[in-house]
């Protein structure tokens, strides 16, 4: 399989408040199109830029 390699940040808007659920939704979209995506660093942040942690 070929690799499309890139580095950088991407920002996606979501109503999801759980990082794992948000990542699962994105992975479903990518896998449907044939992409096997690897997350290096993922943060879920609110509109104020504060990280949403699992305890919230």
> Domains of the chain: which residue ranges?
9-47
pLDDT in tens, 12-31: 899 999 999 999 999 999 99
- At residue 36 the predicted structure's pLDDT band, cuts being 50, 70 and 90, is confident
Quote the pTM value. Answer: 0.70
As given in the structure block, the two tokens for residue 13 are 């808007």
Which pLDDT score, from 0 to 100, does residue 56 have? 47
As given in the structure block, the two tokens for residue 7 are 């580095």
Residues belonging to the chain: 56
Asked whether the predicted pLDDT for residue 3 surpasses 90, the reply is: no
3-state SS record for the chain? CCCCCCCCCCCCCCCCCCHHHHHHHHHHHHHHCCCCCCCCCCCCECCCCCECCCCC
């Amino acid at each position: 399989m070929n690799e499309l390699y890139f580095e950088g940040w991407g920002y996606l808007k979501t109503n999801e408040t759980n990082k794992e659920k948000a990542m699962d939704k994105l992975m479903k979209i990518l896998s449907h199109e044939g992409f096997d995506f690897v997350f290096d660093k993922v943060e879920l942040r609110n509109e104020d830029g504060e990280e949403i942690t699992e305890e919230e």
